[in-house]
Chains A and B, each alone.
Chain A
Amino acid sequence: MSNEKMKILEMIQEGKLTAAEGLDLLKAVEEGDLKEEAFQKAENGIAKREIGGSPYGDRFLRVRVVGEKTLKVNVNVPFSLIRSASKLIVYAMSFVPAEKRMELEQKGLDLQALDVEGLIRLVEESVDGKIVDVEVADPAEGRIKVEVCVE
């Protein structure tokens, strides 16, 4: 096995790279187009992630609900925390009984194929700004504005 491949596998084992990132790098090695700069790029990403928890900096999922009268909700969740919690979701899904899992599969929902961590990574990497911006009228509260954004 080449040195590059070994290095990539070691990085995955140490948790410095995700399996998907490692696979991309391995493919690049096999295709012979992995340049020194690609490695440098990957290592830079790791260094940033080690310092700030994410190569995209410290990003937050913010939920804001503001009512005309008294309702005020402000929730800020760092993505690094969501990433950690996503493992809990994946773990919790393993508790779903086999027969219920089969039932869901028949309805077209394969729990094992659900990549929660990937979904969160995708949101973190590709979404910037508002995801939800809704305004509703409530008889008691008046107008309520709901905002969910990634910052």
Chain B
Amino acid sequence: MWNKSAMLLMVQVKVKGHWGFIFPVPLWVVDQFFDSLTDLAWVGETGLKLIPLPQEENARKHLRFVKAISPSGLIAVSHSVIKELRGHKGLDVVDVETGEVRVKVQLR
């Protein structure tokens, strides 16, 4: 796990003549996070399926909606977006300059 080549999403914010910061987001950490979250969501979903529907109509409606959602699916799709990002090393995703502020998002 630790010898993976680190690819970073660099978020750079700069205010002319004042201050600026660079926030590096290691993509493999996000990758691992989504991996764990998918498993956790799957456990939650499985547990949720075992809860019986309540008698009260409103609560019943809400629980039915929650049961219909698949968080693990949502996480898996978000995970695939992150995986896709990892394949674009060196890309300047966003570069915005307005007056004094400059925001840059790069993949390194």
Interface residues, chain A, with chain B CB atoms under 8 Å away: 53, 70-78, 80-81, 83-85, 87-88, 91, 95, 97
Picked from A53, A88, A95, the residue with its CB within 8 Å of the CB of B81 is A88
Q: Is the CB of B77 within 8 A of A81?
A: no
Closest to A72 in B: B97
Given A78-B88, A84-B80, A84-B84; A95-B69 close (CB under 8 Å)? yes
Q: Is the CB of A74 within 8 A of B74?
A: no
Please measure, in the bound complex, the distance between the C-alpha atom of A81 and the C-alpha atom of B84, giving whole angstroms: 6
- Residues of B within 8 Å of A71, CB to CB, are 97-99
Q: Is the CB of B84 within 8 A of A73?
A: no
Closest to A89 in B: B77
Closest to B100 in A: A70
Picked from A72, A77, A91, A97, the residue with its CB within 8 Å of the CB of B93 is A77
| Chain A CB within 8 A of B91 CB | yes
> Can you list, as one digit per residue, whether each of B70-89 has a CB less than 8 Å from chain A (1) or not (0)?
00011001101101110110
18 more A-B contacts (CB under 8 A) besides A70-B97, A78-B88?
A: A70-B98, A71-B97, A71-B98, A72-B95, A72-B96, A74-B95, A74-B96, A75-B95, A75-B96, A76-B93, A80-B84, A81-B81, A84-B80, A84-B81, A84-B83, A88-B74, A88-B78, A95-B69
Please measure, in the bound complex, the distance between the C-alpha atom of A27 and the C-alpha atom of B55, giving whole angstroms: 50
- Residues of B within 8 Å of A81, CB to CB, are 81, 84-85, 88
Given A80-B87, A91-B73, A95-B69; A73-B95 close (CB under 8 Å)? yes
Q: Is the CB of A53 within 8 A of B80?
A: no
29 residue pairs bridging A and B, Cβ less than 8 Å apart: A70-B99, A71-B99, A72-B95, A72-B98, A74-B92, A75-B94, A75-B95, A75-B96, A76-B91, A76-B92, A76-B93, A77-B93, A78-B84, A78-B91, A80-B87, A81-B84, A83-B84, A84-B77, A84-B80, A84-B81, A84-B83, A84-B84, A87-B80, A88-B77, A88-B78, A88-B81, A91-B73, A91-B74, A95-B69
B31 CB to closest chain A CB (Å) equals 14
